[in-house]
Structure 1
Amino acid sequence: MSQPAESVIQFLDPRKFQDPRTTADGDPRAHVRLRELETLWICTGTLCNLECRNCYIESSPSNDRLVYISTDEVAAYLDEIERDRLGTRTIAFTGGEPFMNPDMIPILDDVLTRGFEALVLTNAMRPMMKVADPLLDIQRRHGDRLTVRVSIDHYDRDTHEEERGPRSWAPAIKGLHWLTSNGFTVDIAGRLFSGESEHAMRLGYADLFRREHIGLDAHDARTLVLFPEMDARLDVPEITEACWDIVGTSPDAQMCASSRMVIKRKGAAHPVVVPCTLLPYDPQFELGRTLAESFVDVPLNHPHCAKFCVLGGASCSG
């Protein structure tokens, strides 16, 4: 018996996303130009205390394909921003779990001492709590420019743990309580993988915040960021130059128009720059060692470009 049409999985046509210049149909592929480097993302490394079911960067306790970046390596990019007056306002950190990087506290201190704003993505579990005292010291000195984004994938414990693994809920909620009770600026990252509407998701998170006495507004899109689910195996339309008017958005609204990410590959002598947080492994998106080298047009030649950014309207910066 055949499956109902709505349950049939449509896998990506292998002809798609092959040529950075044209789509499988021969149309000119859309490109995005960096208009301003508003946010520089730093991948702190792909090691994580969790192994989530659908992690876009495949973080786990054993994945060290992207290794820990050092204080001096980050400082070199901060120096470049200051020397070349790039106008970057925010330095954002993702992993892996950033607080597993042994240099995370000095890196964060350097960023904030220089006057940048900082955004740290974390699961708020044991790695964060192990550095609670120095992190609290940083908050006391620089808290007006530090935001901690906690990954709570769903407002329901069981659904959250389907994605993040058993026994991942209680430590995350405990860490969230610690952050909010100590005056940190906190926002939440959720995932649209349960099939619910965004409105229903926000109502669910609002109920969670009430039950837990957490003073966050689930209806504020800056406080609760809900990301579209991504799976590069599934079919998605390619984005052509004509799509901007059809979709009702513009190149300037895409993440790679205002951000770049620094990564360090295992065995590499130095870090490199890629367009965004979603494309750390594909070599076609390696833009060079310096930020200056990364000021080039980026072809939207990956399923994540279409699904997450153009059609999903999402940005990791919130």
Structure 2
Amino acid sequence: MKDHATDTGQHVKFSDPFVTAKGETRASVPLSDPQTLWFNTGTLCNIECANCYIESSPENDRLVYIRADEVSEYLDQLEDRDWQAREIGFTGGEPFMNPEMIEMARRSLARGYEVLILTNAMRPMMRPRVQDGLRALVAEYGDRLTLRISVDHWSADKHDEERGTGSFDRTVEGMEWLRDIGARMTVAGRTLWDETETAARDGYAALYARHGFNIAATDPGQTVLFPEMDEQVEVPEITTACWGILHKSPEQVMCASSRMVVKRKGAARPAVVACTLLPYDAQFELGKTLAEAEGAVQLNHPHCAKFCVLGGASCSA
């Protein structure tokens, strides 16, 4: 696929929702098969990673804690709109910083959904109250609850480069606790290091074997390796012609099957955005309700190109 860059540079690209810098029709993605509704639990996190796309930290509260009753309102909307979704996802920040995380998961599971929680498995998850809640959820709902653990690299040194000294050991400690209560785990890693995918998966396989983790290193759904998201990296814009050139269809892109609910600091109520990757960009805020969020998404951001269309990645389980 040709790059649609112009002599005027990157700043012209991704400026018009409907037309590329070269004047071609920008690709869009309809919500064709809604399978996952995500909730951002808040951007506060117990750590500050070197390359966090959402800039989570102990100070970042641009997205505030969503409440269990607000989650329930959107679960009601799912049924009213007949989305036929199978999964409710929770991301942050660190979801277990939110004091209502266990209750939000419980309500979602009780409605019959699968639940996916993205966590670093560190101290917020290991508080006794949270541990008691997770034990109860695992006992009642089993494999319908999945915790996807952020393990940036299979080695402690490289993982700690991203998350801080000692973070690898604390995450492994949390994973061992989850293992012992029978919780279903998967892993999210990154591909920012100079190694092949085969070498990375071999490294994760050895890590899992050492600790007795029942996670398949070769399964992309259980060990998810995400490309690094840098908005300054030069990427091509996605035109309607790209689908045929790349032999892909809009149905394969994440925003065809999911939406995310966020609550902005100072907002009276939550809003629905196109996907988990773009919580701050106003052009991807689709409305306050699921009904308002059912329209097509214009692929007008570098993440749409690099991460979703060209990278083929998905945040869902």
TM-score by length of 2: 0.95
- Counterpart in the other structure of 1:161: 160
Q: Percent identity?
A: 58
SS at match of 2:287: coil
- Counterpart in the other structure of 1:71: 68
- Counterpart in the other structure of 1:312: 311
What is the 5 A alignment of 1:1-318?
13-130=10-127, 131-318=130-317
Q: Note the alpha carbon deviations across 1:57-76, whole angstroms, 9 max, x for none.
A: 11000000000000111100
SS at match of 1:14: helix
Q: Tell me, in whole angstroms, the C-alpha distance in 1 between the residues paired with 2:69 and 2:123.
A: 26
Contact 2:185 2:214 in 1 (8 A): no
Q: Which amino acid aligns with 1:102?
A: P
Q: CA deviation at 1:265?
A: 0.4
Q: Tell me, in whole angstroms, the C-alpha distance in 2 between the residues paired with 1:309 and 1:71.
A: 30
Greater shift, 145-154 or 191-200, is seen at: 191-200
Q: CA deviation at 1:37?
A: 1.4
Contact 2:231 2:302 in 1 (8 A): yes
Length, aligned pairs only = 307
Contact 2:91 2:119 in 1 (8 A): yes
Q: CA deviation at 1:120?
A: 0.3
Q: Tell me, in whole angstroms, the C-alpha distance in 2 between the residues paired with 1:169 and 1:14.
A: 38
Q: CA deviation at 1:248?
A: 1.9
Q: Tell me, in whole angstroms, the C-alpha distance in 2 between the residues paired with 1:102 and 1:264.
A: 15
Q: Note the alpha carbon deviations across 1:253-300, whole angstroms, 9 max, x for none.
A: 000000000000000000000010001000011100000110101000
Q: Tell me, in whole angstroms, the C-alpha distance in 2 between the residues paired with 1:39 and 1:226.
A: 19
Q: Tell me, in whole angstroms, the C-alpha distance in 2 between the residues paired with 1:31 and 1:126.
A: 41
Contact 2:42 2:65 in 1 (8 A): yes
Q: CA deviation at 1:249?
A: 1.2
Runs of at least 5 residues in structure 1 that lack an aligned partner in the other structure? 1-11
Q: Which amino acid aligns with 2:51?
A: N
Runs of at least 5 residues in structure 2 that lack an aligned partner in the other structure? 1-8
Q: Which amino acid aligns with 1:25?
A: K
Q: Tell me, in whole angstroms, the C-alpha distance in 1 between the residues paired with 2:290 and 2:208.
A: 40
Q: Tell me, in whole angstroms, the C-alpha distance in 2 between the residues paired with 1:265 and 1:87.
A: 27
Q: Tell me, in whole angstroms, the C-alpha distance in 1 between the residues paired with 2:199 and 2:244.
A: 29
Q: CA RMSD in A?
A: 0.9
Q: Tell me, in whole angstroms, the C-alpha distance in 2 between the residues paired with 1:230 and 1:259.
A: 19
Contact 2:191 2:228 in 1 (8 A): yes
Q: Tell me, in whole angstroms, the C-alpha distance in 2 between the residues paired with 1:169 and 1:301.
A: 36
SS at match of 2:286: coil
Q: CA deviation at 1:214?
A: 2.1
Q: CA deviation at 1:316?
A: 0.5
Q: Tell me, in whole angstroms, the C-alpha distance in 1 between the residues paired with 2:264 and 2:293.
A: 17
Q: Tell me, in whole angstroms, the C-alpha distance in 1 between the residues paired with 2:214 and 2:184.
A: 11
Q: Tell me, in whole angstroms, the C-alpha distance in 1 between the residues paired with 2:194 and 2:25.
A: 33
Q: Note the alpha carbon deviations across 1:70-128, whole angstroms, 9 max, x for none.
A: 01111000011122322111000000000000111111111111111100000000101
Q: Note the alpha carbon deviations across 1:161-204, whole angstroms, 9 max, x for none.
A: 11111121111000011111211111000000102111111011
SS at match of 1:287: strand
Q: Tell me, in whole angstroms, the C-alpha distance in 2 between the residues paired with 1:43 and 1:297.
A: 21
Greater shift, 17-26 or 241-250, is seen at: 241-250
Q: Tell me, in whole angstroms, the C-alpha distance in 1 between the residues paired with 2:219 and 2:283.
A: 36
Q: Which amino acid aligns with 1:118?
A: V
Q: Tell me, in whole angstroms, the C-alpha distance in 1 between the residues paired with 2:105 and 2:223.
A: 23
Q: CA deviation at 1:211?
A: 2.0
Q: Tell me, in whole angstroms, the C-alpha distance in 2 between the residues paired with 1:148 and 1:42.
A: 15
| Runs of 4+, deviation exceeding 6 Å | none
Contact 2:68 2:103 in 1 (8 A): yes
